[in-house]
Structure 1
Amino acid sequence: MRLTILGCSGSIPGPGTAASGYLLEADGFLLAVELGNGTFAQLQARHDPFDLDALAFTHLHPDHCADFTALTVLRRYHPAPPYDVHEKRLPVYGPENAPQRLAKAYAPNDTELAETDLSDVYEFHPIGRSAKIGPFELSAVPVDHPTEAFGLRVRHGDRTLAYTGDTGPCAALDELARGADVLLCEASWTDAPERPDGVHLSGRQAGELARRAGVGRLLLTHIAPWSDRGAILAEARAEFPGAVLVEQGTGYDL
């Protein structure tokens, strides 16, 4: 299983960096997880977007799903797609209201808003349960964020990736990360008592989670452009010495 970082900037894109977006590849199958602002350009630099076999969203904040509209334009209006996109609809896994929310984001005008339906080119599935997606076994757990949000655990063979999505500290994270070979963990800010509950993790909290869960590797992502990357990394390493910051364009073999 190979993980490629399309984007890892938190909350908004940063200078020259895309927001959240990741690719998982195994056995010739290509699964995208998140498609935030700027990630569609990064995807096109590496793959033909028509080669995507499935797409999953942990939640529907724009920094995790905004470029879905660009993918939709491609799938609906490309003059010569490599296959019939209506016969081979792309499976999309996300929160229950994803079909409606994503259709509203795509709708070209107010008149067409109510009639916009993207099921002509997508096959939507709720992510709030276990699923077999190509060679991957995916399970989702609800996490603590201001909108319906999930952490994902993805297994391929004997290797497991846990991805927190966006979340504040919660008991579900220990279940999600327990024994994972790799924990891809958001760390949006440094630790401070005034941080609001139920939004994001600090570097310290990410490191504590990795240590408690006994993970093999800790990869830190979703760091906001206004946050101190070095300070976040130092916090995480104080709890989990092997922590690293992911970089856009980097690939990791799991």
Structure 2
Amino acid sequence: MTVPGSARTLTVLGSCGAWPEPGRACAGFLLEYDGFKVVLDLGYAALPALLTHCPEGEVDAVIVTHQHPDHCVDVSALARVRYYLAPDAAPIPLCCPPGVLDVLRALEPRPDPATVFDVRDLASTREIGPFRLETALLPHYVTNLGVRLSAPDLTVAYTGDSGPAPELGKLANGADMFISDATLQGASPPTTPRYVMTATEAARGAAGAKRLLLTHFWPGSDRAVSVAEARAVFDGEVLAAEEGLTITL
């Protein structure tokens, strides 16, 4: 439901890659645009944070970039919340690559996730609520689709996990907020192909965006170091994702 005049915000539900540090969670964001609520990824321990904002999991859509559990495992928990607390509610649109549904069914086949969610192929979905949805296939160990959500006066883009790639430039160009993988710090590893980025590479990929939000930090990383590295090459505002942080867009 769209409520004219409502806030446009991005809330960090989780910011860790691989596994959550104590008191933190893995990938997850809640994007609100004039009353429409869309979740971007929902990894380990991200659901409790979502429930502080949506106590019965009452979101309008979920987008999952890829099937790794640090990005999708708590979608299974959200399915339980909806199944038990809102059994008569319409299925929530779930836009994801095909492998995500396989993971969810392996975690909990009953109820079938496809009965709680309206499962849609992320690559072929063009609209979700008020947003025009574009995707970009980005380098990772499994199929990972970066997303770009555009509505009047707002564009938010998110990489999921990604190595450095030319596709990042198109994803970021003109975005009001670019949420980017920044797993690593320091010099770029010499290995190729690359499936995650340093903070410096994230900042280079974000060229053309107005603001950069670094996320997917390797557990134990000093986030101030990542921010400093990104600021050295990115002209706009650089933020570190922190659980509970809400950003006005």
What is the match of residue 51 of structure 2?
44
Residue 220 (structure 2) pairs with residue 226 (structure 1): yes
Please tell me whether the aligned partners of residues 131 and 137 of structure 1 are also in contact (alpha carbons under 8 angstroms): yes
What is the match of residue 168 of structure 1?
163
Q: Give me the whole-angstrom Cα distance separating, in 1, the residues matched to 2:65 and 2:190.
A: 22
**Structure with max Cα Rg:** 1
Q: Deviations 1:116-163 (Å, cap 9, x if unpaired)?
A: 732222110000134211111111111000000011101120211111
Please tell me whether the aligned partners of residues 21 and 64 of structure 1 are also in contact (alpha carbons under 8 angstroms): yes
Please tell me whether the aligned partners of residues 14 and 224 of structure 1 are also in contact (alpha carbons under 8 angstroms): no
What is the match of residue 5 of structure 2?
none
What is the match of residue 101 of structure 2?
99
What is the match of residue 113 of structure 1?
none
Map 1:179-194 onto structure 2 (within 5 A): 179-194=174-189
What is the match of residue 13 of structure 2?
6
Q: Give me the whole-angstrom Cα distance separating, in 2, the residues matched to 1:104 and 1:202.
A: 32
Counterpart code for 2:186: D
**Number of residues of Structure 1 aligned to a counterpart in Structure 2:** 240
Look up the SS of the partner of 2:98 in the other structure.
Answer: coil
Q: 1:30 aligns with which of 13, 26, 37?
A: 37
Please tell me whether the aligned partners of residues 146 and 198 of structure 1 are also in contact (alpha carbons under 8 angstroms): no
What is the match of residue 74 of structure 2?
67
What is the match of residue 209 of structure 2?
215
Cα offset, 1:201, TM superposition: 0.9
Q: Give me the whole-angstrom Cα distance separating, in 2, the residues matched to 1:50 and 1:182.
A: 25
Residue 28 (structure 2) pairs with residue 21 (structure 1): yes
Counterpart code for 1:186: D
TM-score by length of 1: 0.88
Q: Give me the whole-angstrom Cα distance separating, in 2, the residues matched to 1:218 and 1:193.
A: 19
Counterpart code for 2:185: T
Cα offset, 1:224, TM superposition: 1.3
Please tell me whether the aligned partners of residues 10 and 188 of structure 1 are also in contact (alpha carbons under 8 angstroms): yes
Q: Deviations 1:172-209 (Å, cap 9, x if unpaired)?
A: 11111112111111111113343543321101111212
Look up the SS of the partner of 1:103 in the other structure.
Answer: helix
What is the match of residue 194 of structure 2?
198
Give the root-mean-square deviation of aligned CA atoms. 1.7
Please tell me whether the aligned partners of residues 31 and 56 of structure 1 are also in contact (alpha carbons under 8 angstroms): yes
Please tell me whether the aligned partners of residues 165 and 205 of structure 2 are also in contact (alpha carbons under 8 angstroms): no
Q: Give me the whole-angstrom Cα distance separating, in 1, the residues matched to 2:194 and 2:104.
A: 24
Map 1:101-180 onto structure 2 (within 5 A): 101-107=103-109, 117-180=112-175
Q: Which runs of 5+ in 2 are unaligned?
A: 1-7
Cα offset, 1:49, TM superposition: 3.4
Q: Give me the whole-angstrom Cα distance separating, in 2, the residues matched to 1:90 and 1:193.
A: 39
Counterpart code for 2:62: L
Counterpart code for 1:206: A
How high is the sequence identity, in percent, across the aligned residues? 36
